[in-house]
Amino acid sequence: MGDNAIDIEFQQAVDRVNAHNEPFPADTLLKLYAYYKKATNNYSKPKSKKPIINAFKTNALFQVKNISEDEAKQEYIDLVNNYFLYRT
């Protein structure tokens, strides 16, 4: 990852998620997972011990297959910002 504005903002969003101690809703977590994997160009298969979780993760990855890495970074950033703005 470079030092351009989207990379910096993306890393800040990742750090914010990693520092958060409460559980995220499952749908948000799957979106974060998929956007992160796409944004970081990480195409490794899901490695959960539970097949159903791998299926959900694979489906989430499939849903972002046609966006670019920068689009995935922006979607991740927007999702994080909206989550922390609107959570109760």
What is the value of pTM for the model shown?
A: 0.90
CATH of the domain at 10: 1.20.80.10
Encode pLDDT of 15-69 as tens digits: 999 999 999 999 999 999 999 999 999 988 888 899 999 999 999 999 999 999 9
Read off the amino acid at residue 33.
Y
User: What CA–CA distance (Å, rounded) separates 42 from 10?
Assistant: 15
> Domain of 50?
5-86
Into how many domains does the chain fold?
A: 1
Q: How many CB atoms lie within 10 A of CB 38?
A: 24
Alpha helices (H) in the chain, listed in sequence order: 5-19, 26-39, 51-63, 69-86
Give just the sign of the alpha carbon dihedral 67, 69, 74, 80: positive
